[in-house]
Chains A and B, each alone.
Chain A
Amino acid sequence: MMAETQLAILFTSIALVVIGLYAAIFVDNIIKKIIGISFIEEGANLFIVGIGYKAGGIVPILMPNMDPTWFASNASYPLPYGLVLTSIVIGASTLAVMLALVMVLYKKYGTLSTKVMLADTSKQEEYNE
């Protein structure tokens, strides 16, 4: 049971990372690229959540009437959840900043194509030289 769930989590996270990498590298539309980047982040988060999984485990909150020894052997490992929570917050702020930059660039170029938006920089620099 435990191995199956963890394997499912592992394969899902690998799939998310691979799909995300494909989108981030090969797709031209900047919004789709950013969605791909979110996929990679969520894949990493899911993987870390999977580490803390324990089959039949309980929520790692020690209630007053619980026996600490029983709790220690039955609770799932809380550290990964703490880490993922932080990671999600960071991911959200990164996403917000990226989308804000895209808004600025969309107003400037009127397109979401990275070929136009980002390649234009180097062309302009060559022209200046």
Chain B
Amino acid sequence: MNELIPLMVIVPMMAALLLSAFSKFNRVIKVLAFVVAIILPIIPIASNYGLHFFGGYQPMVDNVTNIVYHPAITYSFTFMQQIFIAMIGILTFLVIFIYLTKYKKVSGSYLFLLFMGTASVTALILTDDIFHMFVFFEILALAQVGIVAASSIDYSTEMALKYMILGSIGSPMMLLGIGFLLAMTGTVNVTDIVAIIRGGLLDVTSPVFLTSLALIFFGWLYASGLPPFHTIKSGIYSKAEPHGAALLQSFTVISMISIVILMFRIYSYLPIFEFLIVLFSVIAMILGVSMALTQTDFRRMIGFLAVGELGFIGLGIGLGTQFAITAGLFQALNEIVITALLFIGFGAIVHATNEVDTRKLGGLLAYHPKVGIMLLIGGLAMAGVPPLSGFQSKLMLVQASLNCGYPELSILTIMVSIATFVVFVKTFYSMFLSPKPHDLEVVDNDVPRAMVFAMAILLIVIIALGIFPDIVTNGISNYVGGMLL
């Protein structure tokens, strides 16, 4: 049933186009969006693992070099892709569900952006073609900008334009890097490029190859919001609607891991590559958590914490062993779920109070105990408290850095986790436990049920992955083992 593999991209994309076309018919687009959102997580679960060659063009053997090459765009679908696409599908469903229940009149264009973003990240993680990756990277950037600009929060358009200008510098750099690779190898298929490098047909120490690394790396930094782009990334999270931000951060995580995996396959022959990833990840961890400490807007705080968590993922991948990369990818999966929970939970607080400043909030546990407790568990999971999922992945990262002979990195990992804990507990205390300020009005005593439902589902995933991490890590570890061969 490999025909299902391209459907993972085609279904959300077609849905997006239809939603945009029929945006005048409110009920029709509501039903269509809901049905497609339910289908999204089912397709990857129902599909078999395998490869899909677009146009049916099978790989061919070059008569001169005896290297197998791929004339068509290739999608590869394994357990790793399955788990991430299913998770993104579940998250899209929850976000669409929240959006549809929140407004009586929904916007077809906004739903278009949500589905287009989902289609783009799905293509990013499936593709084996570096130019195809670039195309969806651009579409994703446009969808992200749209989601931010469509929000009703003040200064969201300004933030969207800033993000777009930076992106428009970052993406041509990536395109140039791809051009350099194409000039050296004559192909854009990553498997073919790796075969050429392994066959000794390409000098990996040549300046052109290094320049292509630098250019693609720059694009990756922008896509994943690592320094120097951490401020703008947390900025767009804080300017998007909370459910939009929950989806935006998952887009960031998926684009980060899918691009870095492709880069890892091409550039892991260069020792500097892994050093660069670890360097930027460590800077992201430190900057993310220290900037989160100083924030008073809790959306911005979660944004910076999310950037700090990205550093953990990069650290795992940068260490480069099978165990470390598995830990990094597991951390990525956990971050998608945990950060989404936090954004939706804090969105519920914005809904109830119309206030985002932690200093002006207080005593909310009495009004919203369910949201408060679920947020607390989510925050503890992010800080790495057992037995939640964040603990398992961070423990693996600590072990991985010890195994690789970098005890200083494991100490740093633990310290950043403790700092995350401090940031979260401080915010939680001032919002939920401290005495309620006299001038604070709790506008709405009811939090939308869809938000509570979404948080509950995400919480179940967090606890399940915390208690049984093996259901995910074994499959990811097999994938990573195959990648490193």
- Residues of chain A having any CB pair with chain B under 8 Å: 17, 21, 24-25, 30, 33-34, 37, 40-41, 43-45, 47-48, 51, 77, 79-80, 83, 86-87, 90, 93-94, 97-98, 101-102, 104-105, 108, 117-118, 120-121, 124-125, 128-129
- Residues of chain B having any CB pair with chain A under 8 Å: 131, 134-135, 138-139, 141-142, 145-146, 149, 154-155, 157-162, 164-165, 167-169, 171-173, 175-176, 178-179, 182-183, 186-188, 296-297, 357
**Contact A41 B172, beta carbon cutoff 8 Å:** yes
B161, B187, B297: which has the most chain A beta carbons within 10 Å? B161
A37-B169, A44-B176 known; A98-B164 Cβ under 8 A: yes
Tell me the bound Cα distance from A32 to B172 in angstroms. 17
**Contact B188 A83, beta carbon cutoff 8 Å:** yes
| Number of A-B pairs, beta carbon distance below 8 Å | 103
| The one of A25, A118, A124 that contacts B154, using a Cβ cutoff of 8 Å | A124
| The one of B142, B176, B296 that contacts A47, using a Cβ cutoff of 8 Å | B176
**Contact B146 A97, beta carbon cutoff 8 Å:** yes
The closest CB in chain A to the CB of B295 belongs to: A129
A121-B155, A121-B159 known; A101-B164 Cβ under 8 A: yes
The closest CB in chain B to the CB of A52 belongs to: B182
Task: Report the 3 A-B pairs with minimum CB-CB distance, sorted nearest first.
Answer: A37-B168, A44-B172, A44-B175
**Contact B175 A118, beta carbon cutoff 8 Å:** no
Other A-B pairs beyond A51-B183, A80-B179, A105-B158, 8, CB < 8 Å: A24-B168, A41-B175, A83-B178, A87-B134, A90-B139, A94-B168, A108-B157, A120-B158
**Contact A118 B162, beta carbon cutoff 8 Å:** yes
Q: Is the interface of B mostly helix, strand, loop or mixed?
A: helix
Chain A residues whose CB sits within 8 angstroms of the CB of B182 once the complex forms = 48, 51, 79-80, 83
A17-B176, A48-B179 known; A40-B161 Cβ under 8 A: no
Chain B residues whose CB sits within 8 angstroms of the CB of A125 once the complex forms = 155, 297
A21-B169, A41-B172, A77-B186 known; A47-B179 Cβ under 8 A: yes
**Contact B149 A101, beta carbon cutoff 8 Å:** yes
CB distance from B232 to the nearest CB of A (A): 11
The closest CB in chain B to the CB of A105 belongs to: B157
Chain B residues whose CB sits within 8 angstroms of the CB of A101 once the complex forms = 145, 149, 157, 160-161, 164
The closest CB in chain B to the CB of A77 belongs to: B186
The closest CB in chain B to the CB of A6 belongs to: B183
Chain A residues whose CB sits within 8 angstroms of the CB of B157 once the complex forms = 101, 104-105, 108
| The one of B155, B169, B171, B178 that contacts A24, using a Cβ cutoff of 8 Å | B169
A24, A86, A94: which has the most chain B beta carbons within 10 Å? A94
CB distance from A4 to the nearest CB of B (A): 17
A43-B172, A51-B179 known; A118-B161 Cβ under 8 A: yes
The closest CB in chain A to the CB of B179 belongs to: A48
Chain B residues whose CB sits within 8 angstroms of the CB of A25 once the complex forms = 169
A51-B183, A121-B158 known; A98-B172 Cβ under 8 A: no
**Contact B165 A24, beta carbon cutoff 8 Å:** yes
Tell me the bound Cα distance from A104 to B157 in angstroms. 8
**Contact A93 B154, beta carbon cutoff 8 Å:** no
Tell me the bound Cα distance from A120 to B154 in angstroms. 12
Tell me the bound Cα distance from A125 to B273 in angstroms. 38
